């Protein structure tokens, strides 16, 4: 995160003794990334956060690849993913490479019997349907329709849902996720012309400290495996913390689109970045206001990146026959553009109510077996 935040009680100086009221000590933990060079936070625990009692089992959750070297455009019916009770069981990878996994999920039940930690990847969980609370060892964040939950790798968390109707679009990133550098000044503060600022980002609140011993299951994802660890103390035993590395929420509805007299290219919609892919938000906005403007995007060639669009709501003006929850993949190497009639329909339009999330990856994406099971079929021929 590009700003400092703190919750709870912390000592005056880092790496110094911090005593409990009874005279014993709290236990400090550095929670950081990129060795000791990236963003980090300092956490203070009631108990040592290292007390492993047992490893119950380990099992693979590696995606099953169906198409390794893909050159077809695909359209996937995301809402055809069947809901499942368990959050982890519901996570279905559809498009993957060595930098990121794009995952759909439709969990029905809150996480109450275990905690989860992705030790490999930062996670962006886009909330398409449902609401609830993200609970972490650094505090809680309420979420609802349209929220991005950005969770740093290594963060222990649970999701609690208000009801059983939940739909998530998830990006697991093996590269650190940041707000775009061009939106920030050299101090790290978001600039005046950025489409959102720190005020729109919601860090954790309501730090809950559980001073409990027992058997606490933490499911840890590492290298395509889930390892079920049993810890001797409750993982949410943090009494206080401060730093720059923490989860946060950002609502797609708080993204302020950048518009112009003629059609603006996709980078104006950029919301998050890594050095391997970007995430963009297409939001309701005024169309281009040149008297002869063509609001629909021009045909363009994906020479350097695969383009994934996840359709959330509204009428996406450049596509025909697209529904909420649908995913389109336009692979690098071939041009794509508006569907037949879409360019003509857009002329003279003043605004759009479309809502979509885009992921552009620099490495080609592989198509999973689960993706082919929800393939709409022959999307690559839909421009004829």
Distances (CA, A) of 54 to 57, 111, 216: 9, 21, 10
Q: 4-8, 50-54, 307-311, 336-340: which range is least confident on average?
A: 336-340
User: Where residue 35 falls among pLDDT bands split at 50, 70, 90?
Assistant: confident
Structure-block tokens of residue 176: 């650190």
Tokens standing for 237? 């035993």
Q: Using CA atoms of 122, 126, 131, 135 in order, give the dihedral in degrees to the nearest 10.
A: 10
Question: Does pTM top 0.85 for this prediction?
Answer: yes
The two three-digit tokens of residue 243, written as one number: 């730093």
Q: Is the pLDDT of residue 32 over 70?
A: yes
Region 274-286 average pLDDT = 95
Please classify residue 66 by burial: count the beta carbons closer than 10 Å to its beta carbon, then call 0-12 exposed, 13-18 middle and 19+ buried: middle
User: What is the pLDDT averaged over residues 64-93?
Assistant: 96
87, 107 contact by CB (below 8 A): yes
User: Does position 11 have pLDDT exceeding 90, yes or no?
Assistant: yes
Long-range contacts, stretch 36-42, CB < 8 angstroms, 24+ apart = 38/176, 38/245, 39/1, 39/152, 39/176, 39/243, 39/244, 39/245, 40/243, 40/244, 40/245, 41/138, 41/241, 41/242, 41/243, 41/244, 41/245, 41/246, 42/10, 42/14, 42/241, 42/242, 42/243
- pLDDT higher than threshold 80 for residue 72: yes
Q: What is the pLDDT of residues 124-160, one digit of tens each?
A: 999 999 999 999 999 999 999 999 999 999 999 999 9
Q: pLDDT tens digits, residue range 153-207?
A: 999 999 999 999 999 999 999 999 999 999 999 999 999 999 999 999 999 999 9
- Structural domains in the chain, CATH included, are 52-62+82-236 (2.60.120.10), 253-381 (2.60.120.10)
61, 62, 119, 120 from 225: Cα distances, Å: 5, 7, 10, 10
pLDDT band at 318 (very low <50, low <70, confident <90, very high): low
């Amino acid at each position: 995160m590009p700003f400092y935040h703190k919750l709870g009680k912390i000592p005056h100086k880092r790496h110094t003794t911090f005593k409990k009221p009874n005279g014993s000590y709290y236990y400090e933990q550095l929670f950081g990334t990129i060795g000791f060079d990236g963003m980090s936070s300092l956490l203070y625990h009631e108990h040592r956060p290292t007390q492993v009692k047992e490893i119950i089992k380990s099992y693979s959750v590696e995606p099953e690849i169906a198409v390794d070297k893909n050159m077809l455009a695909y359209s996937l019916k995301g809402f055809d993913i069947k809901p499942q009770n368990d959050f982890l069981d519901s996570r279905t990878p559809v498009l993957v490479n060595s930098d990121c996994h794009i995952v759909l999920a439709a969990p029905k039940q809150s996480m109450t019997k275990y905690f989860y930690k992705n030790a490999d990847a930062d996670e962006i969980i886009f909330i398409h349907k449902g609401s609830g609370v993200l609970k972490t060892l650094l505090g809680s964040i309420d979420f609802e329709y349209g929220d991005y939950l950005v969770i740093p790798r290594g963060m222990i968390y649970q999701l609690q849902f208000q009801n059983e109707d939940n739909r998530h679009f998830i990006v697991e990133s093996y590269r650190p996720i940041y707000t775009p550098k061009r939106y920030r000044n050299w101090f790290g503060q978001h600039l005046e012309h950025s489409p959102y600022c720190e005020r729109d980002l919601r860090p954790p609140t309501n730090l809950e400290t559980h001073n409990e011993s027992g058997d606490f299951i933490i499911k840890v994802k590492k290298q395509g495996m889930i390892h079920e660890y049993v810890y001797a103390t409750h993982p949410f035993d943090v009494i206080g913390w401060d730093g720059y590395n923490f989860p946060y929420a950002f609502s797609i509805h708080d993204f302020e689109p950048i518009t112009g007299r003629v059609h603006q290219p996709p980078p104006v919609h950029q919301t998050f970045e890594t050095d391997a892919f970007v995430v963009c938000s297409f939001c309701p906005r005024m169309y281009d206001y040149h008297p002869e403007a063509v609001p629909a995007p021009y045909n363009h060639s994906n020479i350097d990146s695969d383009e994934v669009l996840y359709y959330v709501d509204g009428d996406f003006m450049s596509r025909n026959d697209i529904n909420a929850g649908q995913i389109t993949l336009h692979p690098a190497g071939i041009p794509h553009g508006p569907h037949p009639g879409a360019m003509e329909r857009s002329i003279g339009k003043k605004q759009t109510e479309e809502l979509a999330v885009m992921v552009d990856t620099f490495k080609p994406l592989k198509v999973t077996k689960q993706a082919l099971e929800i393939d709409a079929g022959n999307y690559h021929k839909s421009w004829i």
